[in-house]
Structure 1
């Protein structure tokens, strides 16, 4: 009888100890998950939500300097959605009041040849050609401006990038592409983390 009671008491103590430990482990794991997923970057880093409303973006400089010139030698006409734009010296222009104004390229612009200073960027088995913050893919013997995929990494930004703030987090923006500064093998780089939807 004493052996039966000892076995029963020990079994009951073991079950109570195990049951008391189980909620503590569950609680610990829950806290760990919360720490990992609760971050201000989730708005931008969420792969399913790479489009960021322009209303959530605050530019560090409220106005941007508009660059315009009287003429653009050796320009090529780029037709897009029924509009004429111009391309020369690795820049795109629109015409207004007799002047040519530098613009960020629009998705869908096409050129026949890439500038000599392009860099090949491979991501998710796709080749991009990056030139001063503009991403191209090869398309029907031409090169078309596209939006890069989230996670694409480049090692330099164009000179006229802008700093922006989203949910108290600073990013870099050029042509509505958002970048975050990262380290890749000890080298500073910039990872594409989102696209700004202009509203």
Structure 2
């Protein structure tokens, strides 16, 4: 009888145990696969959110100063013409100008302006595997041997703003604005910095 138990029942118990173990592993494996898929989906959606530019209507933006100082000059030495949407603008002294009544008025460049050479003292910024060149608060990307003015992505960080930035409030929150780019003051490794949080849509 003992021999029968050893030869029939014990192998049956071992086989049942192995089947249960395989079943458990299959369940664990399928659970792990589902978790991995979910994690990837979450990661992808987070990246998508970071690269989306938050647009803010100018009607929601309140400037601390009621008027902005307008800088104009009579002439711009060694200027180059920047044609954009059929209209001429001017670039010289690392600034952009429009012409009105015989004077050149300093402006923030429009998205799409292109120049051959970057302004002096530009800084290279890498964000989301994209190279930006930041000069006096203006962001450029390198396209076909030229540098084109672009909107930076939300989350891009700079360590200083141009002197003529402005303070604004949106829904009671204070931000910093330059060239229609909105920044929030942040700390990066204990250093003060400014993170892009949105772009103002002029209306």
Give me the TM-score of the superposition, normalised by structure 1.
Answer: 0.76
CA contact (8 A) 2:50 2:153 kept: no
CA contact (8 A) 2:55 2:198 kept: yes
- Give the secondary-structure state (helix, strand or coil) at the position aligned to 2:196: strand
Q: What pairs with 1:10-89 in structure 2 (closer than 5 Å)?
A: 50-89=54-93
Partner Cα separation in structure 2 for residue 57 and residue 116 of structure 1: 31
| 1:94 to 2:111 alignment | no
Q: How many residues align?
A: 155
- Structure having the higher Rg: 2
Partner Cα separation in structure 1 for residue 50 and residue 171 of structure 2: 14
User: Residue in 1 aligned with 2:194?
Assistant: 190
Which runs of structure 1 show a deviation greater than 3 angstroms over 4 or more consecutive aligned residues?
45-49
Query: Which of 131, 138, 143 is residue 127 of structure 1 equivalent to?
Result: 131
User: Residue in 2 aligned with 1:174?
Assistant: 178
CA contact (8 A) 2:158 2:195 kept: yes
Query: Which of 136, 139, 151 is residue 140 of structure 2 equivalent to?
Result: 136
CA contact (8 A) 2:80 2:90 kept: yes
CA contact (8 A) 2:83 2:89 kept: yes
Partner Cα separation in structure 1 for residue 156 and residue 86 of structure 2: 31
Q: What pairs with 1:143-154 in structure 2 (closer than 5 Å)?
A: 143-154=147-158
- Stretches of structure 1 that go unaligned for 5 or more consecutive residues are 1-44
Partner Cα separation in structure 2 for residue 98 and residue 75 of structure 1: 15
- Stretches of structure 2 that go unaligned for 5 or more consecutive residues are 1-48
Partner Cα separation in structure 2 for residue 47 and residue 108 of structure 1: 19
Give me the TM-score of the superposition, normalised by structure 2.
Answer: 0.74
Partner Cα separation in structure 2 for residue 62 and residue 116 of structure 1: 32
